């Protein structure tokens, strides 16, 4: 086993040829915190820093950094995934098809989550919880990564077809009432976090793939996206905040710049450049993080807010994400200390299913009316304990389902 800070990146990669351990660990830890803070949001009577900061406050909490960390991780994985896909099949057409389908799949799932509470049961024929439950079930059946088996091949194909039919069914029957009282279909203005990730992934993938042969291109794109975020925040450009995402998926550049920062970090640790050893690459990552944090401080007059998507929020989140990943890389990939990651391992490798499990739970209790835990232990420290237990429960279910080979893959 390689020892010390002089171990080369090639040796680290060869020891784990299929996955970079620190990426999965970072993803799993971020997912665990996401589940916790989402559950904690329903608990009252806690300090202000345990919730998202209000729109009008110029401050950010640790909760405001969870989504940026997730976007950063997506960027970390993009170059690895593109290289692996091109190694299997050198067709760029196939790569673009995969990017478009993956983005569309995330948006489809996101719209289900975003519209479940808007269902008009009188016109749809189902409650919002039951509609959402059927939609997510269809998504799992359709996008599950079924084992290769001649014996059960027909069964697996049938399950995938059932999943697709369920997705078509819930979209076909959906009806909601507008504020004016008119019957309408799916509301696509806010596609929930999954949909936002889909649009962001699409925009960053387009930028990265188009310029992937140039080592410094991701850094140039990152600076450009931060600049876009700054000028949009200053209202020097107003169109980024007004155009629909399906027309301008970059929005004001905030989400994309955090994802592109992940691409930059991936290039630092896995790119072909003269900094070859793990020590050199970790130092380079720190050299990237420090100016990012300084730039965030310099831009504080533009405000610090997740809700307003200000550049300082983006840059502080990026700087923290780079430093956290560098630490995890040293622990997990250089020192090979991964035993402690067992509780979040499935959340890191089976992330989409893990993400959906709390929504499955919410739709299930909504459909059955079993609301005891929603109305009890919802204040103060008992609520914190409940949130911790709920997080551990979801992680345990994720681990169990992963062992049963239930794994969503877009």
| Tens digits of residue pLDDT in 233-254 | 999 988 888 888 999 999 999 9
Domain range for 91 is: 9-403
pTM: 0.91
Q: Determine the longest span between alpha carbons in the chain, in angstroms.
A: 67
Q: In this structure, is residue 1 part of a structural domain?
A: no
How many structural domains comprise the chain? 1
Which helix (H) or strand (E) covers residue 97, if one does? helix 92-115
Q: In this structure, is residue 328 part of a structural domain?
A: yes
Which residue would you say has higher pLDDT here, 362 or 370? 362
Q: In this structure, is residue 363 part of a structural domain?
A: yes
Q: In this structure, is residue 209 part of a structural domain?
A: yes
Q: In this structure, is residue 364 part of a structural domain?
A: yes
Mean pLDDT in residue range 62-80: 95
Report d(CA 290, CA 296) in Å as an integer: 10
Strands, E assignment, 161-205 = 176-177, 183-184
Q: Which among 311, 209, 305 has a CA at the least distance from the CA of 254?
A: 311
pLDDT single digits (tens) 312-365: 999 999 999 999 999 999 999 999 999 999 999 999 999 999 999 999 999 999
Q: In this structure, is residue 2 part of a structural domain?
A: no
């Amino acid at each position: 086993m390689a020892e010390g800070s002089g171990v080369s990146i090639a040796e680290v990669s060869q020891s784990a040829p299929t996955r970079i351990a620190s990426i999965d660990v970072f993803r799993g830890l971020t997912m665990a915190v996401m589940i916790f803070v989402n559950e904690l949001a329903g608990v009252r009577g806690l300090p202000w820093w345990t919730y998202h900061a209000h729109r009008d406050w110029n401050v950010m909490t640790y909760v405001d950094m969870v989504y940026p960390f997730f976007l950063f991780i997506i960027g970390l994985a993009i170059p690895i995934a593109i290289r692996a896909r091109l190694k299997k099949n050198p067709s760029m057409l196939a790569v673009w098809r995969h990017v478009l389908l993956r983005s569309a799949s995330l948006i489809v799932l996101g719209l289900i989550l975003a519209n479940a509470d808007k269902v008009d049961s009188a016109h749809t024929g189902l409650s919002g919880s039951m509609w959402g439950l059927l939609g997510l079930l269809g998504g799992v059946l359709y996008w599950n990564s079924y084992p290769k088996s001649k014996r059960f091949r027909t069964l697996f194909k049938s399950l995938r077809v059932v999943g697709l039919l369920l997705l078509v069914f819930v979209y076909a029957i959906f009806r909601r009432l507008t504020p004016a009282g008119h019957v309408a279909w799916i509301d696509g203005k806010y596609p929930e976090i999954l949909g936002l990730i889909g649009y962001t992934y699409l925009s960053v993938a387009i930028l990265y793939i188009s310029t992937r042969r140039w080592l410094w291109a991701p850094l140039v794109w990152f600076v450009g996206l931060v600049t876009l975020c700054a000028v949009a925040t200053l209202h020097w450009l107003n169109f980024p905040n007004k155009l629909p995402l399906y027309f301008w998926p970059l929005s004001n550049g905030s989400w994309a710049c955090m994802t592109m920062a992940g691409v930059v970090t991936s290039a630092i640790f896995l790119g072909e450049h003269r900094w070859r050893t793990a020590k050199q690459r970790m130092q380079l990552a720190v050299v990237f993080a420090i100016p990012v944090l300084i730039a965030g401080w310099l831009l504080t007059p533009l405000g610090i807010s997740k809700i307003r998507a200000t550049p300082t929020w983006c840059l502080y989140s990026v700087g923290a994400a780079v430093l956290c990943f560098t630490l995890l890389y040293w622990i997990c990939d250089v020192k090979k200390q991964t035993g402690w990651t067992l509780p979040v391992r499935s959340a890191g490798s089976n992330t989409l299913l893990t993400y959906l499990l709390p929504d499955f739970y919410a739709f299930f209790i909504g459909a059955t009316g079993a609301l005891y835990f929603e109305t009890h232990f919802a204040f103060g420290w008992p609520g914190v304990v409940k949130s911790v237990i709920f997080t551990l429960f979801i992680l345990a279910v994720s681990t169990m389902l992963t062992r049963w080979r239930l794994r969503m893959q877009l």
